Each structure stands twice: as structure tokens, then as C-alpha cells.
Structure 1
Amino acid sequence: MARCYSACVRNRYPPCSLPAIWLISDARIDERLEAALRRLPRGSGFIFRHYHLPLPERRARFRALMKISRRHGHLTVLADEAQQARRWKAQGAYGSSKRLTRGLALLRLVTAHSLKEIGDANRMRADAVLISPVFSTRTHPGAPTLGSIRYRLLAARSRVPVIALGGMNPARAQAIGANRWAAIESLAHRCKPLFPIHS
């Protein structure tokens, strides 16, 4: 799988098959991240955010989690500028289209909340776009959501692979027809694991 991603980045397009499931880190689930990474199906994606940590601590936490992520065959992406992601040896960078520079040998996962941002992702030929928030989420309580219909409308305008984000779980992903989805808490739930734990 690592060879697939390397070839994908070198050729830029067409993109290779991206993971269907993405775990996104957050301060609320920090203590559960190691177990969550081991529970994910092999070859899933992991987006490390942890914006709350000072830079040295953030880098140390990223290194520790990246080791586990790669041990289980997951794709590891840093939420930061592409140059920083390359310095930290991440396999990709995550953020707004304005933060991700073209031309670097990294996967670029772009956030989008509107039709304009979908257009930005198309123009920069991002490797994927995360459309959010599809449903309500504790990350942004009370914030407006897209809902299934607006999500589908935005996804239909994307010329790059789409990842649904915001209140997502397997049942909701299936209901809205999302082939790829990302989540924070539903993938880190310690009482009701969604997937079998890897050895």
C-alpha cells in the first residue's frame, strides 16, 4: 500500500485508492487514540490535529502515534502546512486550500464547507476533499450543518475524491452514500468498538 501512495503522489492524477475510513485526532480522545488506531481496519487513514499542544509536545505526540499508525498500515496525515508535514515525515497534509502548497510530494487533503471551497479544491487538484459538517458534532456545538441533501449536492460538484466529516459513523456513511468518511469520537469509542481489534 505504501508503494501505491508513493506512486499516486509522484503522478498526482489519477489518484490511487484512498482509505475509506479516517480517524481524526482531538484533545477529547487523546487517551484513547492508541487503542483506536489498533481497532481501525488495516489501511485506514489517520489525521493528526492536536492543535492544543505546544509545538515540541505536539511533534512528540505525533511521532508516537505515527509509529502505531504505520505499524497497522494506516496512512498518516498531519494537519498543518505541507512543508511542516514533510519535515515531520507525514504521508500527507490536511487543511484549507490556502495552507496547502502545490508541488510537494505529499497527499493533500483539503477541507471544504461550501461550493466555493469545493471549487478551490478542484482547481488545486487536491488528492481529496473533506466536506463538513454533514451532521451535528461536539467539535462545533450548535454550528449549522449541511445535512444529507446539501452534502450530496456539494459532493457531486467535486472532481476529487470526497470524504464525509461531521457526526459520521458507519450507518450514517451508508445512508448518505459516502464511500469515504472521517470521524473523531465514533471511531474512538471504547465501549462499543466498531471494528475488531488488530493483534
Structure 2
Amino acid sequence: MTLPDGYSDEARALWDAATALNRQAGAVSLPPLLFLTDPERTPRPWETAARLPAGAGVVYRAFGRADAATTGRRLREATRHAGVRLLVGLDMALAEAVQADGLHLPERAAGQAQAIRAARPDWLLTAAWHGGPVECAGLDALVLSPVFSAGGASAARPALGVEGFRDRAEAAGPPVYALGGIRAGDVGALTGSGACGLAAVSAIQAAFQAVA
């Protein structure tokens, strides 16, 4: 789906690349673009979420903040209006409280997916992955990072590069998103990498910060 008029060139580049990867991977039931929130880097995530194209996804990572429920409800309102799916990081109670569409697990908790799937078969379940052994049972997708040199929590990890990403995506069971150092000018390099879509924090926030 092509974005309508009013979006930035960066937003178009990210969305076009993400949807192309999604089709190539045969993963059209998954959101092609995932906006990952961060309390420090995305203090008003509902504003970005409201500007995302229908079919995209948001991964709300509250990290135990006191305002988690309030922010979660604002995100749910924005995503529902935009036709965007909302996943909550790790916190199943919070996900149920805000009527989220699923859960995003840290790598250390990926093994919980089967039990969560049994309790909530309707949820979309994803998990973070850094390329090592990981339990995939019950997951719809993995989010592999860092593909390129990244900031945030992945800053200390060496970049996998496109080839390293491709090797791991081919060996994984579920579809795999590309995360880490994602920039509109670089995403073309991921063509043919096996990625089912793109995930990002700052690049998505910057690209979708204003829609005319």
C-alpha cells in the first residue's frame, strides 16, 4: 500500500521498503513496520503512533514507568483510530488492561511464548533476538538486532550487517524483523535479506513526526 500525499520522503522510503520486504518474506499477516517506543527517546509515542499508516504496528515498552497505564491507554486510542496494531513489552497484565493486540518479549523471556499463546491465542507474539540460540515456540516473529550500528540498548553490540542478518534469518523458524540503525537511506540494502519488515525507534519517530 502506497502512502497518501502529506508524508515525508523518509516516511515513504521506510514504508515502501518495509512493505516490499513483507511481501518478499510472505509474511503479509504481520505488520511490515514496527515502531518501538522508549520512555527517554520517544516521550510522546502516541503522537507518532497516530501518524503511522494503517497496518503498521507499535511495540510499547514501558520499562516499569509509573505512567505506564496512562501512556498505554493513549497509545491504544491512537493506534485503534489509525488502524495500527499495539503490542506491549513483556507486561501481560498491562497488555490486557489496555486491550493490546499482543505482546513483545525480551529475549530472556522468549520461552514464555507457548504458555502465553495457550492463554491468549488471539494475540500477536514477538520477541527480541540478538542472533544466538533462542526459544521460538509460540512466537509469530523475532526482532533481530542490531543490523546496522545502533544507539540505545544495542549501542554496545557489534552490527550484524546485512549478510549476518541474512544468515540468521534463514536459520530462524519464525519470520524476522530487522532492527538497529535503521535509516531511510540504508534500508534498500536489506532487499533479499529475508527480513519480514523493519523495526525502529528514532528513524520512525523522525520520519512520521508530521503529516500534512
Alignment TM class, shorter chain as reference? 0.7 to 0.9
Question: Sequence identity, in percent?
Answer: 24
Matches within 5 A, 1:37-52: 37-52=49-64
Who is 2:48 aligned against?
Answer: 36
Q: Deviations over 1:1-58 (max 9, x none)?
A: xxxxxxxxxxxxx97611111101012333442331233222210000021512xx21
What CA deviation, in whole Å up to 9, does each residue of 1:133-158 have, x standing for no partner?
A: 11222213232221211111011112
Residue 89 of structure 2 corresponds to which residue in structure 1? 79
Deviation at 1:109, TM superposition (A): 0.4
Question: C-alpha distance in 2, partners of 1:196/1:20?
Answer: 20
CA displacement at 1:167 relative to structure 2: 1.0
> Matched residues in 1 for 2:27 and 2:97: separation?
23
The answer (yes or no) to whether the contact 1:128–1:162 under 8 Å persists in 2 is yes
Partner of 1:186: 203
Contact 2:76 2:99 in 1 (8 A): no
Over 3 Å counting, the alpha-carbon distance change for 1:155 and 1:87 in structure 2 is same
Q: Deviations over 1:67-108 (max 9, x none)?
A: 101110000000014455234321000013134333122111
Q: Residue 168 of structure 2 is aligned with which of 154, 159, 164?
A: 154
**SS in structure 2 of the partner of residue 102 of structure 1:** helix
8 Å contact 1:19–1:45 — kept in the other structure? Answer: yes
Match of 1:67 among 66, 70, 77: 77
Alpha-carbon distance between aligned partners in 2 of 1:36 and 1:194, rounded to the nearest angstrom = 6
Shift of the 87–194 alpha-carbon distance from structure 1 to 2, 3 Å rule, reads closer
Retained in 2: the 8 A contact 1:38–1:197? Answer: no
Q: Does residue 168 of structure 1 match 2:182? A: yes
Superposition RMSD in Å: 2.4
Q: Which has the higher contact order (CA 8 A, sep 6+)?
A: 2
Q: Tell me how far apart the structure 1 counterparts of residues 159 and 208 of structure 2 sit (CA, whole Å).
A: 24
Which of 92, 98, 101 is 1:91 aligned to? 101
Partner of 2:150: 137
Describe how 1:103-114 pairs up with structure 2 within 5 A: 103=118, 104-105=120-121, 106-114=123-131
Unaligned stretches of 5+ residues in structure 2: 1-25
- Tell me the number of residue pairs that the alignment of Structure 1 and Structure 2 aligns: 176
Larger mean CA deviation between 161-170 and 99-108 belongs to: 99-108
Once residues 87 and 36 of structure 1 are traced to their aligned partners in structure 2, the CA distance between those partners, rounded to angstroms, is: 22
Find the aligned partners of 2:71 and 2:208 in 1 and give their Cα distance: 25
Q: Is the aligned partner of 1:126 residue 2:139?
A: yes
Distance 1:86 1:34 in 2: 18
1:58 corresponds to which of 56, 65, 68: 68
| TM-score of the superposed pair, with normalisation by structure 2 | 0.73
